[in-house]
Each structure stands twice: as C-alpha cells, then as structure tokens.
Chains A and B, each alone.
Chain A
Amino acid sequence: MHELESVAFSVLETVAADPVGYAVEWKRRTGRPVVGSFPMNFPSEIVHATGALPVIVQESRTPITEGRSLLPEFYCSYTRSVADQAAVGELDVFDAFVLADHCVQLLGAADVIRWAKPEKPMHFAQFISSMDDPWSGAQVRDKVASLRVEVEEIVGVTVTPEALRASIRAFNVNRHLLRRFYELRKTGRLRVSARQLQVLVKSSMVMEITEHTELLESILSGLELPSEPPDSLVRLHLSGHFCAPPRPELLDLIEECGVLVVNDDLYHGTRYISTDVPEDGDPFDALATWYLDRNVSAPCGTRVQRNVDWDSYLVDSLDDSGADGVITLMAKFCEPLMLYYPELRKVLDARDIPVLLIETEHEGLAAESIRTRVETFVERIRRQKLKVPTLA
C-alpha cells in the first residue's frame, strides 16, 4: 500500500505529525493570526474568510504532565491533552480560540485554557445539539452571527459575504478531493492504509486550505489505480473516535491482522469531510445549513435528532462498502460514545454483523493484547463467511 508515497504526501505527513509546528511556520511566513478551534462542528470557513489560519486543535502525542493537575484523570484523552498543552505553553502560537460544541469535557478543557491563557480571547457560540426542533435553524443562524462578530473582533477584519463565499468554495473543493480518496479506497482501486488517509484528513484540519488542496491534487494526479485488493482480506469499517484521531500504530496493527479498512465514520475521516457548505444563497446562513445537514449525512452520537440514527447510517454504510464487520474505537471516558455504543451493537447484532470494541487511551497501547483480539475477530469473520448453510 504505497500509492500515496510522494513529496506532496510527505509534506502532509509532516504537518499531521506536528500541527503546531506548521502553525508557527505559517504565522512567521504570513504575519497573520492563527485561530484555534475545537472538534467537531466549528465552521472553519468563517475564520478563513478573515485571512487568519483556522486550525483545529489536535491531541498532542506528548505525555500529559502539567495537565494532570488541571483536569481529572477520568477525562477523555483529547481534553486532557488540550489542558496539558495549554498549561505547558504548546498552544501559545494561537491568537484566539473559538468553539461551537458543548461537550462537557471539552468545556472543562476550554476553561483550563481561559485560566492558563487569560490574555487569549476564547469565544463560545454554543450550537444547539437538538437538531430537529422548530427553533434549531434560527438558533444556529444566531450563533453563526455571533461567531462572525467575535472572529471579526479577534482578527480585526470584516467578514464580507464575498470573502466567505470564496472560503466556502475553497473548503468544498478540499472536501471533495478528500472524499475522492475515500471513494477510491472503497472500490478497492486505491490501495491506501488507514494511517495514510488519516494523514490526509488531519493535515486538512491544520493547513491553509488552498495549500492543502494543491498537495492533494498533486497526489491524485500521480496515482496509478489498477490494483484490486486480494480477496483474502477481511473488509472492515472503523467506527467511533470523535475529536481525536486513533493512534496511527493502532491503525497499522489492525491492518496487519489481514484487514482491509474500506470505510469509517471517524471524525478524522469520513465524518469530517461528509458535508459541503451550500454555495448559493446567503453564505452565513449556509454555514448554519451545513451544521444541520451534517448530522443527516453523517449522524453523530453527540447530537439529538429523532429522524436520524447513527446505527442505521452505519448499517447503510456497511451495505455500501461491503464491509464484513465493524471495529468501534472508543476513546476512554468518551461519554457520547459510551452512551450510544449499546444501540450500535444492538443493531449490528440484529443484522449478524460482527463488531469489536477497542478502548483507546492517550498514553500506551496494549498492542499485543489488541492484536490478539483483532486476529480472533478477523478469524471469526472468516469462519462466518465460510459457513455452510444448514439443510432445511
């Protein structure tokens, strides 16, 4: 699986490995501000339209030290890492922070940033998480307007409709290209590892978007796409992991067990690139529409919507990709996933779709234990596929 190997890909790999390093370099190069935002629903376009660099703050790979005394141990790895980064100065490159989601743990981390960096603006426009109430649309539009005011104040630039439209187009193009990689993987024509796809998406959360798009185009133009995946590989869907990407070595480990990952609903994956912002009409309203549409095209366990289910979306997605089973990656202490997981399992069990739950942590990876579990899971799927129908 080396089709992506190129100079352009190695640039993205470097950015994904060191997002703060990229932000520092970009700021030095352009002299413009860098604005940090948090998963999973902040519309980066609005920051981009000011000329500032929108960066989704990433979980750092460094061990948590100072942060241990600011948030309890029973917080998810992402929030504890963000608190730690704030405490040790890793977030100093950011000129301001903005967020739109109200995950209780994330708010705890945001409060740590407010406390550790009181001089940095920290704006919170709480997007309503109940998506299908009569007032949901108006509420999101109101919050987008509030974001606009705050972002303009932070950067000192007015967000014109024209500038926002241009940013929306730029992000849509980028998402479209990223989706192209996913589509090719699903068909089996592109032999690409889950680690590599994560690099593509993660770097898009960090880089100046047009710069990222140029690199994606360069990679796509260099692809040779004749190959088909070997039949012997078990096709799997990776599910879960909001906010932070699963560790690349965990993805490698899974694939080393004879697995072809054909799709996912990870935040650093399909979820992030699932939905474009409408390009017609008022661009500010379009950002609100994007937020509401997003939970339909990729339903999320953190949202509340009666006519949309993550579980049925997952089943449809499996039908589409031909995946044989699901590995759910659950960041330890992630309450939305802990709450939703039984519903996912219930539906998958009812369809006789094998599912394996793997809990992940910030530090350490019980590699051999996980390997054994994945191998057993894969073997189970293989046996299931070979099962001879019983005589009636």
Chain B
Amino acid sequence: MTLDLSLSTKQSLDLSPTRTRTLEVVDKSNRLKSTSLGGKMVAEYWDNIFTAKERGKHVVWYNGTALNPIFQAAGLEWCHGEAFSARLAAMHLEGPAQQAGEEYGYIAELCSYARTHLGCAVMTQKGITEKQSGIVGMVDQDQLASKLPSPDFFVNAYAGCSTGQQWDAMTYRVFGKDFPIFNVSLPMIWGNKKDSGYLRGTEWEKTPLYVEEQLKKLIEFIEYQTKKPFDWDALSENMSYIKRASELRLEAMALCAAAPTPATYWDWVASIAPINFLPANQLLVDYFQAVKDEIQQRIVNNISAVQNERYRVYFDGIMNWNKLGFLTRKFAEFDVAVVAGRYTHDSFWQEPQLIDLDRPLLGMAQHYLICPINHGLKIMEELLLKRCDEYAIDGIAFHSTRTCRAMTNPQHILARTAERDRGIKSFSFEGDVADAAFYKDESLESGLVAMLESIDQQRAKV
C-alpha cells in the first residue's frame, strides 16, 4: 500500500500566529456606562497636572494613602505615584518608564508600581537636567511617562507595606535630595490583642490618635513649604464631598448584592481613581450618584452586568491594570460575575461614618490605617468572610500579584479560611499590577475552570 500524500502536500502551511486563529469570543460583560465619565475626569485631572508648573502651582509627589483632601485645601497640585503607574499600565504606556528604571538599576522583581514611578522620576529628573543643559531629549518626546512635573516636595504615607516608604526615600535620592520630604508613619493594625478586631479594641482606639498628630505636623510642613496658612474650612468642605461620595459609592455597592448583579468588581475598579485621588467637589458626588442611579435603573430593568450569571466570585489581590478590559471579558466568558473584591470594597473611604467634619484629621487617620494591606491576618479573615456573606460569594479568585508582596501576603491562608469556614472554593492566578510580563493566561483559565467545576460538583451534592 502506498500513502497518498497529495492532499497534505497541496495544502499551504498556515504560519499565522496561533492567537489569530482563536475563535472570536462574544463579550458577555455589560459594563456600566456612567463610569466613562470617570475616565474623562481622570484624563482631565492628569492633563491639568502636566501644566502645573506653567501655572505656577506647587506640586507635591506622594505615595500611599489618600492625602489629597489636605493637598487640595492647601492649594497644591498632587501626583500620586501609584495612581500614575497604574494609569500608565492601564494605557499600556508603562514601557518607557520601566525601561528608564531598569537602566537606572531597578530589578524586575521590585514592586512594579515603584519601578514605574521611579522610572518616571528618573525621566523627570533627566528632563530637569536637559532643560538646564539645553539638550533636547526624552522629556521633549510625547511620552506620557515623561510628563510629570518635578515635585516641590514629597510626602509619603504608606500603610501596610515597608516598600512604600523606602520607595519615596529612593525617589528623594533620585532627585538628588534637593526636595523636602515628609513621612507619615502608619503603624500596622496587628490585631493580636484579645479585644482586637476590625474597628475595635484598644489598638484601634489608640493608633489613629498618633497618626492624627502626624497629620497636624504634615499641615505645618505644608504651610512652611507654601508660605500660606492652611485652609481648615476647605479641608472640612473637601471631606464633606468625600463623605457623601463614599456613602453613595457604598450604597451602590450594596445594591450589587442582588443576583444577578447589576455591576461588577470591574466597574468598581474603574471608579477607584475618582474616590482615591480626584479633587473633592460636587462633580465627585455627582459621579457616584450617577453610578448609583444607573445601578438602580438596571435593577428595575432587570439588566445584569454579566450575561447568564452563574457564579459569583470575589477578587482578592491588587488590580492587574494592564488587563482590566481583558479580565472583564474573560471572567464573563465563563458566566462569572466578579461582584466584590478586597481592593475595591475594603479601601478608599469605605467607612464614611468615621468622617467627622469638625475633626476631619481623625477620620482620615482612621481610614489610612484600614488600608486592606494594613491589617494582620485575623482581621483580614474577618473582612473576607464578611464580604463573602454580603455578596453570596461562590468562589474566590486570588490574583497572586508578583511584585506586590503586601497584597499577596495572606492569600494562601485566606483561601484555606474561606474553604474551612464557608466551603468557598478558590484559585490563584499569576499577574502583576503594572508589569504585563508576569501575567499568564493559562494560569488564569485553568485555575478558573477548575474552580468552577468544583463549585458545580458542590452544588450537585446539595
């Protein structure tokens, strides 16, 4: 018998990349429309920052918690390092900054927020030097990463991650130690006393007072830098907007306990920038009112955020900014509604009742301390189970965030706790906040499918 090879030899080889041959997947996600306004607000905010020097404004670079109401009241322009790194990554423009950081000597395993932002610092510093020397270089290119105005001073207020404080100590050095720096020290809420817990116990009562005192000193520092008296009334007013925006945000989040959910974790991710660092004003309140209104309308009209919602998942881990749209579609593809997450639901003014407009600094201090990476394990277990109960969670996606040890710290144990105490299944996938190189799609997909099968088996037993 002879083999007939004519058929195969006549076929042309398909050398196109595998990806192009993947069947087009229908997007089953249904994102909120109102959050697009937030995108415009954020873009305008950064455009405004880029012209700060031309307008003769003082610029503060800061990292960590949301000090912006203080900066706003002081008439400053503020650049949040993580926010800018996240924005670059979300726009897939992080490359030049990360390359600048790499050339400076930062190793790829270092926090990618820090690496990106330090790269920006290197580029901005290089820009200062080039302007002084008259050399036209990177700063004149239309690269977003090089547009940050140089700081007049730095403020660091990093909770729960030792890297955060050291990161700014290095930024300070990259700029030749030419600019003043102020450090707010935020102790971890360790939660090991007998009376300890979320928002309770002697540790909780005592620690914010220490931070409040530092915030007073911060304001003295800002007064010295700006040579202007601080506007305390403006701070109270700013916090009134923050408080109202936060209340609306939480009310809207609570509506998402409905099944199917009218909005998802990805919508709340898109709303992080507004609540985290945009100016506190009526626009901010209007934004969250619009988000809440849309969610309410969706409930009335029975509109789901994910077509055919079959699984409700909690997202633990910091956001993978390179993959926001991709992950939104990816989870929806598997009928998964990611309804809540540690990053979105346990951060960013999430306890507005703590804000006292007559004593705003205390409420701010308290919020800075309840950053979701600033708790010991016991409190994190408490919060995770609370959220799982509130949102009727079936499973947990742990984003094993390669260069963010702070967010990854307790994940293996939290997974065991959820399984032990609630029978909730989970999986981990690899990725990173601002470095796409660490994301592995196969890791996500295989883990997700395995978890969903476990959930199906669990349901079949009931």
By a CB distance below 8 angstroms, the chain A residues around B144 are none
- Bound-state CA distance A304–B182 (Å) is 11
Report the nearest B residue to A343, measured CB to CB: B173
Q: 8 Å CB contacts to A: which residues of B82-124?
A: 104-107, 109-111, 114
Knowing A70-B413, A104-B406, the reply to whether A114 touches B166 (Cβ < 8 A) is: no
Knowing A107-B188, A124-B188, A345-B105, the reply to whether A302 touches B166 (Cβ < 8 A) is: yes
**Contact in complex: B412, A69 (CB < 8 Å):** yes
Segment from A17-25, A52-60, A177-185, A328-336 that makes contact with B:
A328-336
**Contact in complex: B409, A104 (CB < 8 Å):** yes
**Contact in complex: A107, B166 (CB < 8 Å):** no
Report the nearest B residue to A70, measured CB to CB: B412
**Contact in complex: A343, B185 (CB < 8 Å):** no
- Bound-state CA distance A15–B231 (Å) is 61
Knowing A75-B405, A126-B187, the reply to whether A338 touches B109 (Cβ < 8 A) is: yes
By a CB distance below 8 angstroms, the chain A residues around B378 are 114
**Contact in complex: B109, A103 (CB < 8 Å):** no
By a CB distance below 8 angstroms, the chain B residues around A74 are 109, 402-403, 405, 408
Q: How many residues of B contact A (CB 8 A)?
A: 47
| CB of A307, distance to nearest CB on chain B (Å) | 10
- Bound-state CA distance A126–B188 (Å) is 8
**Contact in complex: B109, A135 (CB < 8 Å):** no
**Contact in complex: B170, A343 (CB < 8 Å):** yes
Segment from B45-53, B155-163, B270-278, B449-457 that makes contact with A:
B155-163
**Contact in complex: B409, A332 (CB < 8 Å):** no
Q: Which of A70, A104, A122 contacts B161 (CB 8 A)?
A: A104
By a CB distance below 8 angstroms, the chain B residues around A114 are 192, 376-378
Q: Mark A108-132, 1 if CB is under 8 A from B, else 0.
A: 1001101100000011101011100
**Contact in complex: A342, B165 (CB < 8 Å):** no
**Contact in complex: B183, A104 (CB < 8 Å):** no
| CB of B371, distance to nearest CB on chain A (Å) | 12
A389 on interface, CB distance cutoff 8 Å: no
Q: 8 Å CB contacts to B: which residues of A353-370?
A: none
- Bound-state CA distance A333–B107 (Å) is 9
By a CB distance below 8 angstroms, the chain B residues around A123 are 192
Q: A133-B183, A302-B162, A339-B166 are in contact. List 9 more A-B contacts (CB 8 A).
A: A72-B405, A74-B405, A108-B408, A111-B377, A124-B190, A126-B188, A128-B187, A339-B170, A343-B173
Question: A residues within 8 Å of B by Cβ?
Answer: 69-72, 74-75, 102-105, 107-108, 111-112, 114-115, 122-124, 126, 128-130, 133-135, 139, 301-302, 304, 306, 309, 332-333, 335-336, 338-343, 345-346
Question: B residues within 8 Å of A by Cβ?
Answer: 104-107, 109-111, 114, 156, 160-163, 165-167, 169-170, 172-173, 177, 181, 183, 185, 187-188, 190, 192, 210, 213-214, 217, 373, 376-378, 400, 402-403, 405-406, 408-413
**23 A/B residue pairs, CB under 8 Å, sorted by A:** A70-B413, A74-B403, A74-B408, A102-B187, A103-B162, A104-B160, A104-B161, A107-B188, A111-B377, A112-B413, A114-B376, A115-B377, A123-B192, A126-B190, A133-B214, A139-B210, A302-B162, A302-B166, A304-B156, A304-B166, A338-B107, A338-B109, A339-B163
